[in-house]
Each structure stands twice: as structure tokens, then as C-alpha cells.
DNA sequence: CAAGAGTGACAGGACGCCCTGTCAGAAGGT
DNA sequence: ACCTTCTGACAGGGCGTCCTGTCACTCTTG
């Protein structure tokens, strides 16, 4: 919704007005580029534990003025939501792709999914930090984070049913899934904060075996 | 450290000054009572998702002026730390007491511990909310919350080793413990936010069976 | 009763953030 | 060259918090 209001027919036909291109980009391209820069700046500032996220700081980091922030987002929270959603879709894509590429063996599928998730966090810790740790801090973000965790818990429960049969009640499966997802979140959080001397591979192994043990 | 600076020898001997008692309480008793009122107000305001915690609000809730806040705490964060620590010690006392009262059967001990924790949260949701949810929001509180979770994870791992033998590497035990504790935290968080239709008893059952399955 | 400590209400400055508005200069079309 | 749009820098009002200081009032002791 935001982003395409723009200037609104800048160059009327008979008039002299320029077509809207600037520095080789059309108006839409420029606003998209600014939006991308703002999102990048947002995740950057947000992931820094030392400085609280604020519109001022994000704009300063992006090299843009507050005015352009309002061009793409109505408020700071809206930008934060966009960041969290982007990370969430990336996590889902990577994990499902990894599971599908792992074949049919249940243990292999689980391990591949966990490995993909941990790999993403290790590769770009900022994403893990904002989606898991910082999103829990902002009251406006909490419901969304909770929904995402429950979504992944549901996926985990569904996979478990497919893999190991449906001898477990559905509600219990959801609880177990949430327990697992929440545990993974805490594990990654501890690792991100440096309080864990374990290697990513150890995280993957521990989480995988726990998941398999829980659903056996 | 805070709390005993006070007025410092209010009534010098030869002088007329009152001895420091007021409304039937000595000076130390009064500051202690104010501190207790402030702590209660802090947990009350902090647990309310609608209003952000602030010194002003806490003092207003306690019926005291900001001046008395500084009498007991140097900053807002110091009060928050005190609240979290109080909840943490209460959790530890209750869970260990419940486990000890449950006898020697491993499953019974685990179930009793989990039951005690869930029971505490159900009985006073404010405590669960501030210690688990809100403490993760304040950057100054996060290290303490993380340390507490790891402490409980350590306890869980230790108990598992005692109960089920030590065929597992120590590091893996810690990881499994953290996974379990983090999962419990997320479970309780979801329940506190009302997004879970499960009963407390179901939470206890799910968590207990997961723990037992993980350590078998 | 008189004096002094304890207490509560309130005012006001400093600070940081949100948000809007203005203005000069750069980039593009005709 | 001229005009228009786009852009970056900056100022300032509004708001809420933190924190200190002042003043009247209550309670206790001699």
C-alpha cells in the first residue's frame, strides 16, 4: 500500500514536466530503492544492542531524511513488521527447501530443516537477532512474533505426524511443536549473545535428536 | 546497599529531635515498607501490557513520590532487577521443594517440578509475565534473564544425569536443558497471552513427557 | 503547646524523540 | 537557457520522561 502513492502523475501530457526519471531511475524505482535502503538500515540499527531503534537513527543510517521514511512506512513499527516478515518468509523458504532436498528419511529431513535454520542465523546473525530477540521486546511486534512461532510449531507438528504416524492427539502435537520451536529460539538466542560455547553443529545435533526423541 | 543510608542519625542525643519513629514504625521499617510497596507497584505496572514501565507510573501506583523511589533504587532498572530476582528465587524454591516432596521416582519428580512452575504462573500471572516476557524486552534485563534460564537449564540437566545416568556428554546435557527451559518459557508465554486453548494440566503433561522423552 | 523531622504535592529544567515545514541546490526535460 | 521536479539539510513545536528543588502540612517528642 505504501510506496505507490508517490507523486501521482508528475508529468501531465501537454505540460512541460519531466517524465519522473532521475539519476537513471523512474520514480517507482527510486522509492523502491529507498525502501530497500531503509529496511537494510532498520535491520542494522535494530540488531545493534547498544542503540535503541528509532526513526531518527534509522534514517541517519540509511542516509535519508525522515520525510522519506514516511514515504515508505507510516510508523517505525510498520518498518519493524516488514523486517520481521521478510526474515520469517526467508526462514520458511530455506527450511522447507532443505527438507524437500533431503529425501524421505525422517531424521534426515528434520536435521536438514534445523541445519537450514541455524545456518541462516549463523550466516547473518542480525536476522536471527531481530526476528527472535528484538521482536519480543516491542509490544507491537510481540503478537506477530508469537504467530510466527506458532506457525513454525504447526509445521513441526505436521511434519511429525507425517513422519511418525498420528498416534498423538493433535493438541498435544501443537504443544510439543511449540515447546520445540521455543527451545530452538532460546538456544539460538543464547548462542547469539555469546553465552554458549557450543558450535553451530552441536546446536543442530542437540535440537535434531531432541525433536526425534520427542516424537517417537 | 540502597536503603540504609536514610536520614543518618536523625535524633542527636542532647537535642530535642524525635527518635525517628513515625506512625508506629521506626525509620528502617518505614523505608522497608516503602520498598515493598514500590516492588509491588513495579510488578503491577510492568505486567500490564498497555502501559510501559516508567518511574513516574510506578510511583503513582505505589502512592509515593519519585523521591522515595530514589531512596530504595538508583534507577528503574535496579527495581526491575530486584523484581526478576525475587521471582526467580521463588521459582527455584517452589520447584526444588516440589521435587523433593515427590519422592524418588524420576517421572514423578519431573512432573512435580513442572507442575510447581506452571502452578506459580497460573496463580500469579504477573510474575510469569515479568520474569519471562517483559524481562526479555529491556536490554538491561536480558543478561540476567539469560543467566536465570541457563541456571534452570543446568538444574534440569543435573537432575537428568542423576535420574537417568550419565551416558550423555555434559555439553549436550546443557543444550538439552536449555532447549527444554526455553520451550517451557515459550509455552507459558503463549498461554499468558491467551493464544493457547490448552489447560495448565495439558501444559504440564506435554512438558513432562517431552522432558522424559528427551533424556531417555 | 512549640520545635523539628517526616511526608506529599507540585513546579520546572534538561533531554530525546516524533513530526512538520521551509529552503537552497542538484538533476532532468523542452 | 528555462522551468519543474527531486533531494538533502535543518529548524522548531509538541510530548513524555527523568530528576531536582521548594513549600505546606502532618506526626512525634519534650
Q: What is the pLDDT of residue B17?
A: 43
Domain holding B65: CATH number? 1.10.10
Query: pLDDT per residue over A67-119, tens digit each?
Result: 899 989 999 999 999 999 999 999 999 999 999 999 988 889 999 999 999 99
Exposed, middle or buried, A121 (CB in 10 Å: 0-12/13-18/19+)?
A: buried
Query: Do both B110 and B149 map to the same domain?
Result: yes
Average pLDDT over residues B146-160: 90
Other C-beta atoms lying within 10 Å of the C-beta of residue A48: 15
Query: Do both B52 and B151 map to the same domain?
Result: no
Q: What is the pLDDT of residue A120?
A: 97
Query: Do both B210 and B184 map to the same domain?
Result: yes
pTM of the model: 0.87
Ranges A86-90, A160-164, B22-26, most confident: A86-90
The number of distinct structural domains making up chain B is 2
% residues pLDDT > 90 (chain A): 63
| Domain ranges, residue B37 | 27-73
Query: Do both A129 and A189 map to the same domain?
Result: yes
Exposed, middle or buried, A50 (CB in 10 Å: 0-12/13-18/19+)?
A: exposed
Report CA-CA distances (Å) from B138 to A137, B70, B131.
Answer: 7, 20, 11
Give the mean pLDDT of chain B.
Answer: 86
Query: Do both A199 and A132 map to the same domain?
Result: yes
Query: Would you say the C-beta of A15 is within 7 Å of strand C?
Result: no
Q: What is the pLDDT of residue B14?
A: 31
Nearest in space to B112 (alpha carbons), one of B38, B207, B17, B10: B207
CA distance B187 to B175: 18
Which bases of chain C come closer than 7 Å to a protein CB? 3-11, 16-22, 27-30
CA distance A172 to B203: 9
Q: Is residue B19 part of a domain?
A: no
Q: Which residue is nearest to nucleotide D20 (CA to C1')?
A: B67
Q: Which residue is nearest to nucleotide C30 (CA to C1')?
A: A16
Q: What is the pLDDT of residue A28?
A: 82
Contact state of B142 with A205 under an 8 Å Cβ cutoff: no
Q: Of A11, A41, A73, which closes a domain?
A: A73
Q: Of A73, A106, A128, which closes a domain?
A: A73
Query: pLDDT per residue over A122-143, tens digit each?
Result: 999 999 999 999 999 999 999 9
Q: Is residue B60 part of a domain?
A: yes
Backbone torsions φ then ψ of A22, nearest 5 degrees: -155, 125
List of chain B residues whose C-beta atoms are within 8 Å of the C-beta of residue A198: 171, 175
Query: pLDDT per residue over B50-67, tens digit each?
Result: 889 999 999 999 999 988
Q: Is residue A21 part of a domain?
A: no
Query: Do both B51 and B63 map to the same domain?
Result: yes
Amino acid at each position: 500500500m505504501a510506496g505507490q502513492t508517490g507523486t501521482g502523475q508528475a508529468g501531465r501530457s501537454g505540460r512541460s514536466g519531466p517524465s519522473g526519471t532521475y539519476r537513471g531511475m523512474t520514480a517507482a524505482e527510486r522509492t523502491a530503492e529507498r525502501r530497500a535502503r531503509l529496511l537494510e538500515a532498520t535491520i542494522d540499527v535494530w540488531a545493534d544492542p547498544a542503540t535503541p531503534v528509532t526513526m531518527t537513527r534509522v534514517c541517519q543510517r540509511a542516509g535519508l531524511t525522515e520525510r522519506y521514511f514516511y514515504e515508505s512506512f507510516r510508523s517505525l513499527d510498520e518498518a519493524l513488521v516488514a523486517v520481521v516478515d521478510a526474515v520469517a518468509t526467508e526462514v520458511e523458504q530455506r527450511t522447507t527447501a532443505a527438507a524437500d532436498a533431503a529425501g524421505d528419511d525422517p531424521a534426515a529431513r528434520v536435521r536438514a530443516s534445523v541445519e537450514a535454520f541455524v545456518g541462516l542465523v549463523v550466516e547473518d546473525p542480525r536476522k536471527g537477532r531481530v526476528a527472535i530477540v528484538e521482536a519480543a521486546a516491542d509490544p507491537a511486534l510481540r503478537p506477530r512474533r508469537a504467530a510466527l512461532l506458532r506457525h513454525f510449531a504447526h509445521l513441526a507438528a505436521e511434519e511429525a505426524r507425517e513422519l511418525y504416524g498420528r498416534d498423538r492427539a493433535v493438541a498435544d502435537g501443537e504443544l510439543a511443536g511449540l515447546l520445540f520451536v521455543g527451545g530452538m529460539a532460546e538456544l539460538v538466542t543464547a548462542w547469539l549473545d555469546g553465552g554458549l560455547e557450543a558450535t553451530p553443529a552441536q546446536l543442530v545435533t542437540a535440537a535434531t535428536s531432541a525433536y526425534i526423541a520427542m516424537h517417537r
